Amino acid sequence: MKASTLLDLKASGYRARSVQDEVRENLINKIKSGEQIFPGVVGYEDTVTPQVVNALLARQNFILLGLRGQAKSRILRAITELLDPEVPYVLGTELHDDPLNPISSEAKRILERDGDATKIGWLPRAHRYVEKLATPDVTVADMIGDVDPIKAARMGESLGNELTIHYGLLPRANRGIFAVNELADLAPKVQVGLFNIMQEGDVQIKGYPIRLELDVMLVFSANPEDYTARGKIVTPLKDRIGSEIRTHYPSDIARGMEITRQETDVSSRADIPGFVAEIIEEVAFQARDDNRVDKQSGVSQRLPISLIELVASNAERRSLLENTDAVARPLDLYAGLPAITGKMELEYEGELKGADTIAKDMIRKAAGAVFSRRAGKLNTKELEDWFEAGNVLNIPQVGGSSVAVKALDKVPNLLRYARDLAEGQSDAHTLSAAEFILEGLYGKKKVSRSEEFGYAAAEPEQVRGRGGRWN
């Protein structure tokens, strides 16, 4: 049974610990028991996670530095799980003072008045995490606190009384974790306001001769682009941050696909063949390597997550219209262009060509790369010769999968290869695999494709680049 008064709390054997000690001890227990430290964070097992663990064991404040969509906020929020399930505090205090180590005049007054009968509340770990997205308009008063004349008037107290303080976000995070996202966006004078808590463990609130010795863990995130584009972290503050930990995008396609699967649940809406899912992930890798895309801005992992959702939706829409199985096809990626174009910052060359053109080119290259990995050993010469002879294949877009599969029968070996690669027995699965072969050949520049005429013999680059939109 939880203590409800200070007397009960003392009798329970409760001991006060700092937030850093609490996190450290719980982290040690998790490591010993073999538990996953940051559930849901994939691809950092040998890089970022060990560095974060080291910083926490060292009781350090730290900053995660990386491009957008690299799970920085998720890691910071996951640290909350290293706190105790609940901690006691003096009931009715704004700063959730530790009953055995009060810091506010409010808590000290209550303890002096009620003694061992002081009422105790219990603060859950979810309420011990305070997060602030840094913006240029954030003030020192927002972060630290200020004089509150309205509060003073209501209480009938003078402005010099500590009870009239308006506490900012940082003091309210006492006995918890305070996270600042995009730290470089904070105005320099606000960053200076963090110096004391980083070095001395206390804050000074404007107009009051007090020093609040807060018990708080400070963690930050920032984008390297911010150092030149919008602002910078002032040098004395950087010096006070214990560890600077660099995050990164998935190191390989398999890791990326694992993250995308974890963050989406499209299986109830459509069957996504493995080669389609791999092309979706490859699009993000192509974008990150493309010189027409701004490297400083990065390409978020949200791109393949949003893209697979649109691909599934297009397959679902087609199944509703045609009363067929909802199986995603490679050409459904072109219906997902809005998920690609909105997540890339283009360089000047890319802007000249247009986001849609760049996105289509990335889909083509991605299909070619995945085809080389999965089906590169297929002998497609007879198939290519059929196109070189002047034949054209235009896959019917109405009438269902069975009609489209019949149209493929005239292309040598296409259906035979497709059935070998298909991940199901239905016509919809066969059609998806056939499109994978055709898009793979298109990506490898073995055939051409246009919106008007479909697949044909490989043509000069200026013609091939007209690859069109499929729905």
Same domain, 307 and 418: yes
Would 111 be classed as within a structural domain?
yes
Same domain, 199 and 75: yes
* Residue 456 in this model has a pLDDT that exceeds 60: yes
Would 471 be classed as within a structural domain?
no
What was the pLDDT predicted at 400? 85
The identity of residue 282, as a single letter, is: E
Same domain, 335 and 192: no
Q: How many CB atoms lie within 10 A of CB 88?
A: 24
Residue 384 CA to chain centroid, in angstroms?
Answer: 42
Same domain, 209 and 287: no
Provide the pLDDT confidence category of residue 189 given band limits of 50, 70 and 90. confident
Same domain, 228 and 328: no
What was the pLDDT predicted at 63? 95
Same domain, 231 and 263: no
Same domain, 394 and 261: yes
Domain range holding 341? 253-464
Among 301-310, 316-325, 461-470, the range of highest mean pLDDT: 301-310
Provide the pLDDT confidence category of residue 135 given band limits of 50, 70 and 90. confident
Rounded mean pLDDT, 164-183: 89
Tens of pLDDT along 77-129?
999 999 999 999 999 998 999 999 999 888 999 999 999 999 999 999 999 99
In the three-class reduction of DSSP (H, G, I as helix; E, B as strand; rest coil), residue 442 is classed as helix
* Residue 154 in this model has a pLDDT that exceeds 90: no
> Is 153 exposed, middle or buried (CB count within 10 Å of its CB: 0-12, 13-18, 19+)?
exposed
Would 323 be classed as within a structural domain?
yes
The identity of residue 230, as a single letter, is: R
Report whether 450 contacts 456 (CB < 8 A): yes
- Report pTM: 0.85
Q: How many domains does the chain have?
A: 2
Same domain, 229 and 270: no
Same domain, 329 and 205: no
The last residue of a domain, from among 246, 267, 298: 246
Would 469 be classed as within a structural domain?
no
* Residue 445 in this model has a pLDDT that exceeds 80: yes
Same domain, 223 and 171: yes
Same domain, 229 and 260: no
Same domain, 334 and 452: yes
* Residue 433 in this model has a pLDDT that exceeds 80: yes
Tens of pLDDT along 345-392?
888 788 888 999 999 999 999 999 999 999 989 999 999 999 999 999
The last residue of a domain, from among 246, 265, 296: 246
Would 470 be classed as within a structural domain?
no
Question: Which residues are within 8 A (CB) of 268 and not within 5 positions of it... i.e. 6 or more apart?
Answer: none
Report whether 159 contacts 152 (CB < 8 A): yes
